[in-house]
């Protein structure tokens, strides 16, 4: 079983949260700040202990062995599938497919769904998509002679929803879109978009990579057909991701990887695939990452995670934005009131990578560049991209103060 911890109850919730993240303690001692949570989150102690326990005591393989180590590990591994079902409120654990990332989940769908498309069919995306939700569909469009369309974005960084109707028709088979923009933090109206698509019998894929630490997920209530996210954006290790597939759609999918574990019979000329989801999980999975994700979900559930962050999940963003606006030459990119934990900005007449590097040299980890969103950056006329600060539950005002100080120092050097 994976290691699990309870978060101690204390009047100072922030300090108690930070105690569970060893890297935060290290950064505080160094007077440094980690503000690149949109790229990946830091890991709590339960993850470190789960990984250590796995490599010390549990190493084996799942689903294949006939010995006690494999049996026990398989039980823990499949229990994680149940925990994920509860976490995203899916109808069945069989609707959960383990992948290595959001990117792999979307790529899987672009191949597994290939047979439902005919030449001339259309796929709708948005201009704010991460490359991982553009490139797989571009590839599919080239293979099947499909047409891609894009729901546009306005100057605030919000979707222009009035363009939905002109862009969809009887040839539109799929609407794939992000829940939260990884570059601007904008929350898209996922419920409305899914409802519109369902009314026109259009399949929906939600990229939930950025949503998992800021909002609870209920795929049944949302009504989406597919949803993908990465464990490492939710405090788990890299290398493990989740693809939710509504069970009624399994008959539309074909396996995109073949090999051990996804079959029930093999001859020299053919094979018989296993039932879903196993038929979509060929090869040895990231076992230790799955166990660590289980420990994270238990950790967060025990502490009523979303209740903790609900009251102040946008407070740091607002504080950082107000302080940055006081610095002449700084321009905030994106002004949607739906933003929660991502803040993009530029220093006018300065290349964003120069600004980002100087901020980093001052001990503040931020991201600079296009954030794998080149179409969005081109639309917003930002040739060098932006500097992005992204916050998580363990960040505090001291981290923002370090950011502001670093920006001021960088400006004094650059201008």
| Residues classed as catalytic | 372
Give the number of other CB atoms < 10 A from CB of residue 196. 17
Residue with tokens 């670093």: 406
188 DSSP assignment? P
R_g (Cα) of the chain, nearest Å? 22
Dist CA 291 CA 74 (whole Å): 10
The full 3-state SS of 79-103, as one line of letters, equals HHHHHHHHHHCCCCHHHEEEECCHH
The three-class DSSP label of residue 178 is: strand
What is the C-alpha separation between 408 and 403, in angstroms, rounded?
A: 9
Residue 225 Cα distances to 22, 121, 255, angstroms: 38, 18, 17
Which residue reads 């990229």 in tokens? 207
Dihedral angle over CA of 33, 34, 36, 37, nearest 10: -130
Q: Using the 8-state DSSP alphabet, how is residue 129 labeled?
A: -
Structure tokens at 219: 């795929």
Three-class SS state of 230: strand
3-class secondary structure, 255? coil
What distance in Å separates the CA atoms of residue 145 and residue 192, rounded to the nearest whole number? 29
Q: Residue 257 corresponds to which tokens in the numbers above?
A: 């990887």
Q: How far is 286 from 380, CA to CA, in rounded Å?
A: 38
- Distance CA(4)–CA(28), nearest Å, equals 25
Separation of alpha carbons 234 and 365, rounded Å: 18
Q: How far apart are CA 391 and CA 4, in angstroms?
A: 24
CA-to-CA separations, 231 to 56, 70, 172, 299, in angstroms, rounded: 22, 23, 31, 14
User: Is the sign of the CA dihedral 316, 319, 323, 329 positive or negative?
Assistant: positive
Structure tokens at 186: 């904008």
Q: Taking a C-beta distance cutoff of 8 angstroms, is the pair 340, 180 a contact? A: yes
């Amino acid at each position: 079983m994976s290691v699990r911890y309870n978060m101690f109850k204390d009047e100072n919730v922030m300090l108690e949260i930070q105690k569970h993240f060893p890297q935060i303690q290290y950064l505080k001692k160094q007077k440094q700040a980690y503000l690149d949570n949109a790229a990946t989150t830091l890991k709590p102690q339960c993850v470190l202990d789960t990984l250590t326990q796995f490599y010390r005591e549990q190493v084996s393989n799942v689903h294949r062995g006939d010995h006690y180590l494999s049996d026990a590990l398989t039980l823990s591994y499949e229990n994680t599938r149940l925990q994920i079902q509860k976490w995203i409120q899916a109808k069945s654990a069989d609707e959960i497919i383990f992948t290595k990332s959001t990117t792999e989940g979307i790529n899987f769908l672009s191949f597994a769904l290939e047979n439902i498309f005919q030449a001339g069919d259309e796929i709708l995306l948005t201009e704010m998509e991460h490359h991982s939700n553009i490139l797989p569909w571009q590839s599919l469009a080239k293979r099947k002679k499909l047409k891609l369309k894009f729901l546009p974005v306005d100057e605030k960084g919000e979707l222009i929803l009035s363009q939905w109707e002109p862009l969809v028709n009887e040839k539109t088979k799929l609407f794939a879109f992000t829940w939260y923009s990884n570059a601007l933090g904008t929350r898209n109206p996922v419920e409305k978009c899914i409802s519109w698509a369902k009314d026109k019998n259009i399949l929906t894929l939600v990229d939930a990579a950025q949503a998992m630490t800021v909002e609870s997920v209920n795929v049944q209530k949302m009504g989406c057909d597919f949803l993908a996210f990465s464990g490492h954006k939710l405090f788990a290790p890299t290398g493990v991701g989740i693809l939710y597939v509504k069970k009624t759609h399994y008959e539309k999918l074909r396996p995109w990887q073949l090999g051990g574990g996804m079959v029930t019979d093999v001859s020299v000329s053919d094979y018989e695939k296993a039932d879903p989801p196993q038929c979509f999980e060929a090869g040895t999975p990231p076992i230790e990452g799955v166990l660590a994700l289980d420990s994270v979900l238990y950790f967060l559930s025990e502490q009523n995670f979303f209740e903790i962050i609900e009251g102040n999940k946008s407070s740091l963003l607002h504080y950082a934005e107000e302080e940055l606006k006081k610095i002449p030459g700084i321009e905030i990119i994106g002004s949607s009131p739906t933003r929660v934990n991502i803040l993009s900005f530029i220093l006018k007449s300065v290349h964003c990578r120069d600004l980002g590097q100087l901020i980093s040299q001052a001990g503040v980890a931020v991201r600079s560049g296009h954030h794998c969103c080149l179409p969005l950056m081109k639309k917003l006329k930002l040739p060098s991209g932006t500097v992005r600060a992204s916050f998580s539950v363990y960040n505090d005002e001291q981290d923002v103060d370090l950011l502001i100080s670093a920006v001021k120092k960088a400006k004094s050097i650059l201008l």
